[in-house]
Amino acid sequence: MRNATTTIKGSLDRLLELDGELRDLSFERDDALLKLRESEHRYRALCEAGFEAIVIHRDGEVLAANNAFQDLTGYNEEELKSYSLLVKIMHPDFRKEAERRICDEVDEPYNSKLVRKDGEVVDVYIHPKYVKYNGHGLCRAAVVTIWEERKHA
């Protein structure tokens, strides 16, 4: 940081004087970006370490999914990102209820069924949590099979 006085030419050929401090903010920006990346890495590591399947979506469009969710559904993360949860993964009998919960951003846990990539139907317990991020509702949903839920209870 340094003090500076600068003379600049304004409109109508008037001389203006600016007195103040000049600061290089690039270091602070780079430091903030590094901290953000580290935070994202820690969050990803925590999500991967749990036994529950976790998917993050916006209006049913997958933004991220941990390995447990990929194993549960049989789809890799890139495949999941290219599908709507409602169309590809939710069992047809549960799509309307899931759509209502997504549209209304309902945080209450519920039982449902998913259809795996291989066609197997899986009974699941879904615990969604909605947050606002950049003006959009994002959902972090923890998903366990009913069998796993009973096993860990």
Domain CATH number, residue 78: 3.30.450.20
Domain annotation covers residue 23? no
- Whole-model pTM? 0.67
Give dist(CA 5, CA 13) in Å, integer: 19
Question: Which H or E element spans position 11?
Answer: none
Domain annotation covers residue 13? no
Q: Is the pLDDT reported for residue 149 higher than 50? A: no
pLDDT of residue 108: 93
Domain annotation covers residue 28? no
Give dist(CA 74, CA 23) in Å, integer: 52
Number of domains in the chain: 1
Q: Which of 148, 44, 141 is nearest to 98 (CA)?
A: 141
Give dist(CA 129, CA 55) in Å, integer: 11
pLDDT of residue 3: 53
Domain annotation covers residue 108? yes
Instruction: Report yes or no: 93 and 113 within 8 Å, Cβ to Cβ.
Output: yes
Q: Give residue 6's pLDDT band: very low, low, confident or very high (50, 70, 90).
A: low
Q: Is the pLDDT reported for residue 116 higher than 70? A: yes
Domain annotation covers residue 132? yes
Domain annotation covers residue 45? no
Domain residue limits at 81: 52-152
pLDDT of residue 59: 87
Q: Give residue 22's pLDDT band: very low, low, confident or very high (50, 70, 90).
A: low
Greater pLDDT, 32 or 65: 65
Give dist(CA 5, CA 132) in Å, integer: 43
Domain annotation covers residue 34? no
Domain annotation covers residue 81? yes
For range 13-36, the mean pLDDT: 68
Q: Which of 100, 104, 118, 109 is nearest to 146 (CA)?
A: 109
Average pLDDT, rounded, for the chain: 80
Whole-number percent of the chain with pLDDT over 70: 71
Whole-number percent of the chain with pLDDT over 90: 37
Q: Is the pLDDT reported for residue 49 higher than 50? A: yes
pLDDT of residue 15: 58
